[in-house]
Structures are given as structure tokens and as C-alpha cells.
Amino acid sequence: MMDALAILKTVFGYPAFRPPQDEIIDHVAGGGDALVLMPTGGGKSLCYQIPAIMRGGSAVVVSPLIALMADQVAALTEAGVRAAVLNSTLDAERARQVEQDFAAGRLDLLYVAPERLVTPRFLDLLGRATPALFAIDEAHCVSQWGHDFRPEYIELAVLHERFPAVPRIALTATADALTRQEIVARLKLDAARIFISSFDRPNIRYTIVPKDGGREQLLRFIEQRHRGAAGIVYCLSRRKVEETAAWLSARGVAALPYHAGLDAATRAAHQQRFVDGEGIVMAATIAFGMGIDKPDVRFVAHLDLPKSIESYYQETGRAGRDGAPADAWMAYGLSDVVQQRRMIDESEADEDFKRVSRAKLEALVGLAETPHCRRVQLLAYFGESSAPCGNCDNCIAPPRVVDATEAAQMALSAVYRTGARFGAGHLIDILRGRTTERVATLGHDRLKTFGVGSDRDERQWRALFRHLVASGILIADAEAYGALRLTTAARAILKGEQSVQMRENTVEATARKRSRRTADESPAAGADAGLLARLRDWRRRTAQAHGVPAYVIFHDATLAEIAARSPADVDGLAGIPGIGAKKLERYGPELLALIGAAGDTVDAPV
């Protein structure tokens, strides 16, 4: 029997395990039950795929995501592992063939949809075959309180009752303790060892910028960091999704819209192009994302504020599942906070729910305003402590923190003197001494605060108001069209008993600093650009010929590594992560020909 590390190297082409993969694999291959909590992209699949190969017999993998099953099977087949899928997409003929292969022990892994698994027919088939392992992926689907509840998951306890000697491994990226307890109870995993990994996604770089013409900022971000890469741009409304997709397309970014208002066929077509294609940017509402397992999404951008840190983390988590560098980028402004507040206030929910929602929004706004490491704050929210990460905007270009007490007093007094009936725009006009029609009509040019803040520009004032709202010193009144009101916290500031410290508003400065820093740090740093383009083109054609998504052939990181190293021979190729024995044999000659090292020994690929 091959040991785990040998399988990792020869079959999957990776040099080392990411702890605790090795421990989990040992435990499960040795016959133990396990519950694995690991973030998306952490490498859960290998935790059951390698024991499946080690244990002999067939592993049965339960997964609710049809597209994901097909991808996994395609990737395993590419790597030379005997895998198949049984779900509603197969015709009867093919399903029978798979069942026969399974019963005869010709499969290492069989992926099955939960509703199929619990049928008497399939349980009967299981009894005739030799199941060696049960893997229950997306195990949080058993939780009745979660978003992804699947009733059939509850019935999966039958596996333990019928086959008590077969080890089980349940896996999820959902961290909270309640869900964990529910998984253990409902799947009868009391004897399972629990493996909890850090929920950090170290390859994701978090950046949050003050909104200043959001779309243009987004375009600059895409052009500087992710030209030609796949990404998701989340917007709050369907109309904004449409507008953003059209606007980006007109500027040379291949963008498509996705929202629940599009008909099913259009949605499916756009999703397909996003998954299979290279470099499609999807402008989308949060309707897009559930169950999409494209590993090479290079960025997730937010043009509108999500409603909580949980949502933000889940949405940004769709970037970089392949472990290669990826970006979570967000532009936010005062109007975002006001808008989200209004949505909470105007919702039909009860007061308790609204209170919780407001607190969650506040936590997210706090994350956006912090001058400290974003990752430390994110992980702390989920109960993990960590050190500054070196891979977020605040770590890369630490913002200066300035004392804004005096300006804050001016702003608060402008609110007070106008009767707390106006939004930031009008208040800023007063502070800057602009005699607009409205200012004149209302006689606000005669206020004591008129013109006291003319030394600060519009943008600085906006940043200050945003900060005051974010810190709960001002509150946006939903019933009065976002008019700003003073909270009790404002009093101490007006009296000079408390100071206001905030990050310096340095939109342009940090943008400049960052682009200089990262120009040489883009995901394919050091790669031969011409070669990388040839490799991508080859991958696209090969994927098309095999009828699989491009990333099933090779991940971005593998192509980038080939382009960076330009290996001259088979041995050099074999050392590149992601190239196992089977792929080396199948694609080695073509790759070497592309690199130009193997001369004319190979004809046109595919």
C-alpha cells in the first residue's frame, strides 16, 4: 500500500501536506471517524481522496453540489484516479454502468447526491459493494438553522446504522460551534475526532477604500492587479448590476450581469461562461455565488457594503480557492452605511432582529474604518486571535491616524444648529461656506458654523462624516431621508471631554503607494508573459477538447510556475506543484514543446 505522502506526490503532484491534512488522513485511513472544519480552499478534498486510495474498496462521497461533483470527478480522472458520479444528470444507461463498476470494486471514489444515497435501491447496492469510507461534504447542510439545510442530510445517519465498521469523515467550512454540535448529533459522529483549522485565508489580500467614484476605482483596481482575470463584483441592486456590467464592458473588461431578475436560461449561460471561461468578470447580486466552486476567481469586489462581517467573509471567500494570491476589494462610503441602516429600519423584522442587524452592520463598518490590520479584526470577530498579517491594505501601507476632534466639533455643531434635519451634503456646504440655493433659502449662511471649515475639502468632510456615523456619534435617520442626528456620544465630543481619532483620508496617496508596490508582485510575478499566454491558450484548447473547465487541466498557479521556471526537461516539470505522474505523462511533451525546450518533437497539441 502506498503511503499518504507518496500518493500526494505522485498522484496530485504536491510536495507536502498542509497541516493538519496529514493527521486527518492518518486518522481516517486508519479507520477513525472525523469531523473536519477547514476554510474554503484549505484542502478538504484530499482529506478523503487520499484515504480513499489508501484503503482499497470504494469511498462514497456525498455532496449536494452537482457541478462540484462533476468537477472533482473530472479532476480526479485527469490525475488517473478511478472516480465516477451518480446523480440525476446521468442517463439510465450510464447510471447502470457506474453502479456495476462500483459493485465490482472498480472505483476508488463514487460521488453521490444525498437524495440518491438514501434510496433503498442505493443502500441495497452499498450492501453488495465494499464501501471503504464515507465522506460527507458540506456537512453543515444537516443544520436546520443554516442557509443550506438539506432534509436528506438528516437521513445520512443511516450510513452509520447500516455500516458501523466503515469510517466516516464529515467536512465543512462553516465554523460556528452550534453548527458543529448539530453535525455531531444528527450524523451520530459522537466518536469522531474533530479537526479545526484556522479560518484565515492567507492568500486573500483585504483592501477597503473610501468610495470616490466607485466604478472608476474598480476599473483602476482591475487594470492594475487583475487584467484578464476572473472576478466577481457584488452590487446591491439589480439595476446597478446591469449598469456595472455594461460600463465595464464598454471599457474593455469582459463583464456579464447576474441577478435573480434575469431569466433562468440567461443566468445559466452567464454562469457557464464565468466558470468555463478565462477572465470573465461577473457583476452580480448576492444571488450569485452559492455553490459556485470556481477555484481561480482572482478577486471579489464590493461596490456596495454587505450587511455583516459574516456576509463579507462568505462573499470574499469565493476568491482564491486554489490557494494562489487573490484580492478582496471594497469601496465604501457614507451613503452605503445610510442605505444599509435604512434597509434594516424599514424591514418588517421584529425589534430584536433589527437590533442584532444593526450591531452586525456596525461591526462591518468598524472593519472598514479601522487603521489596524484587517485580518486581525476579521479573525477576532470569529473568535480567533492573530498577529498583523502583512497582506492587507493597512499592513502594506499603514494609514496615519490623525486627531480630528476640532473638525468633528464643527460638524456636530452644524448638525445641532440646523435642527438635525439634513444629510451630509448640505451640512458640508454650510461648513465650507458655499452659498447654494438651499443654504440661502434656509438662511443657513447666517449660522455661526457657516464657512468655519473652508480649509478642508469636500472629500475630507465626507470622510469625517462617514467616520462619525461609523463610530455611532451621528446616526442616519431613515424616516427623515438620511438626516443626521446626534447621539449621546456626541455630547462628550462637543464638550471637549473626548477626542476623535480617525484614519487620514488618503485615497490617492494609498492608491499610488499600493500600485507601485504591487506592480512586481502580481500573481504571475517573474513569469515569461509570452509563455504564460501560450500556456493559457493551450489549456483553453485542451479543456475544450476534454469537455472540462480549464482549471481541471491545470490551476493558474501551476501555469504561472511553469512560465516562471521554464523547465527544460521532464524532471524540471515534475518538480512543479500540481503536476502529478499522470499529467506529466499525458501533457509533459506538449508543455515542453510550448516552452520551446523540446524542439519539434511534438505535433500540434490536442
Q: Which residues bind Zn ion (CB under 5 A)?
A: 373, 375, 389, 392, 395
- Residue of 116, 169, 115, 176 whose CA lies nearest to 143: 176
- Selection from ligand ADP, Zn ion, none that 44 binds (CB < 5 to 8 A by kind) is ligand ADP
When CB distances are held under 5 to 8 angstroms depending on the partner's kind, the choice from ligand ADP, Zn ion, none that residue 395 binds is Zn ion
**Closest distance between ligand ADP and the C-beta of residue 68, in Å?**
9
Residue 323 binds: one of ligand ADP, Zn ion, none (C-beta under 5 to 8 A by kind): ligand ADP
Q: Closest residue (Cβ) to ligand ADP?
A: 43
Q: Which is nearer to Zn ion, 34 or 392 (CB)?
A: 392
CB of 559 to ligand ADP, least distance (A): 13
Shortest separation between residue 513's beta carbon and Zn ion, angstroms: 15
Q: Can you tell me the distance from the alpha carbon of 109 to that of 95, in angstroms, rounded to the nearest whole number?
A: 15
Residue 485 CB coordination number (10 Å): 15
Contact (Cβ atoms closer than 8 angstroms) between residue 10 and residue 585:
no
| Cα 446–chain centre separation | 51
Sign of the Cα torsion 325, 326, 328, 331 reads: positive
43 binds, among ligand ADP, Zn ion, none (CB under 5 to 8 A by kind): ligand ADP
Residue 286's binding partner among Zn ion, ligand ADP, none (Cβ under 5 to 8 angstroms by kind) is none
**Residue (of 186, 94, 92) closest to 146 by Cα position:** 186
Contacts 24+ apart (CB under 8 A), 420-426: 420/477, 420/483, 420/484, 420/485, 420/486, 421/480, 421/483, 422/483, 422/484, 423/338, 423/476, 423/481, 423/482, 423/483, 423/484, 424/334, 424/461, 424/462, 424/465, 424/484
Residue whose CB is less far from Zn ion, 157 or 395: 395
- Residue 168's binding partner among ligand ADP, Zn ion, none (Cβ under 5 to 8 angstroms by kind) is none
Within a 10 A sphere around the Cβ of 147, how many other Cβ atoms? 10
Q: Which does 295 bind (CB under 5 to 8 A by kind): ligand ADP, Zn ion, none?
A: ligand ADP
Question: Which is nearer to Zn ion, 126 or 389 (by Cβ)?
Answer: 389
Residue 114 contacts which entry, Zn ion, ligand ADP, none (Cβ below 5-8 A, type-dependent): none
The distance of closest approach from Cβ of residue 83 to ligand ADP in the complex, given in angstroms and rounded to an integer, is 14
Nearer to Zn ion, 392 or 475 (CB): 392
Shortest Cβ distance from residue 374 to Zn ion (Å)?
A: 6
Least distance between ligand ADP and beta carbon 36 (Å): 9
Q: Which residues pair with 484 in a beta bridge?
A: 476
What CA–CA distance (Å, rounded) separates 65 from 109? Answer: 16
Task: State in angstroms the smallest separation of the CB of 321 from Zn ion.
Answer: 21
Residue 392's binding partner out of ligand ADP, Zn ion, none, with CB under 5 to 8 Å set by partner kind: Zn ion
Residue 372 CB, shortest distance to Zn ion, in Å, is 8
Q: Which does 17 bind (CB under 5 to 8 A by kind): Zn ion, ligand ADP, none?
A: ligand ADP
Give least dist CB 42 to ligand ADP, A: 4
- Of the two residues 60 and 65, which places its CB atom closer to ligand ADP in the complex? 65
List % helix, strand, coil for the chain (3-state, nearest 5): 50, 15, 40
Taking the complex as a whole, the smallest distance from the CB of residue 267 to Zn ion amounts, in Å, to 36
Distance CA 585, CA 567 (A): 15
In this complex, which beta carbon is closest to ligand ADP, that of residue 136 or of residue 222? Answer: 136
Distance separating alpha carbons of residues 75 and 582, to the nearest angstrom: 11
Q: Kindly tell me which of 42 and 423 has the beta carbon lying closer to ligand ADP.
A: 42
Backbone angles phi, psi at 248, to 5 degrees: -65, -45
Please say whether the beta carbons of 204 and 316 come within 8 A: yes
* Residues within the interface to ligand ADP (CB under 6 A): 14, 17-18, 21, 38, 40-46, 295, 321-323, 555, 577
Pairing verdict, β 231-234 and 299-302: parallel
Give residues with Cβ within 8 angstroms of 447, minimum separation 6: 414, 417, 418, 430
Closer Cβ to Zn ion, 211 or 375, answer by number: 375
Task: Closer to ligand ADP by CB, 368 or 576: give it.
Answer: 576
> Smaller CB distance to Zn ion: residue 44 or 302?
302
Residues whose CB is less than 8 angstroms from the CB of residue 180 and which lie 6 or more positions away in sequence, other chains included: 35, 37, 194
- Residue closer to ligand ADP (CB basis): 39 or 453: 39
Dihedral sign from CA coordinates of 588, 589, 590, 591: positive
Smallest distance, Å, CB 291 to ligand ADP? 12
Per-residue cell: 466: 462617514
86, 98 Cβ separation under 8 angstroms: yes
Give which of ligand ADP, Zn ion, none residue 389 binds (C-beta under 5 to 8 Å, depending on kind). Zn ion
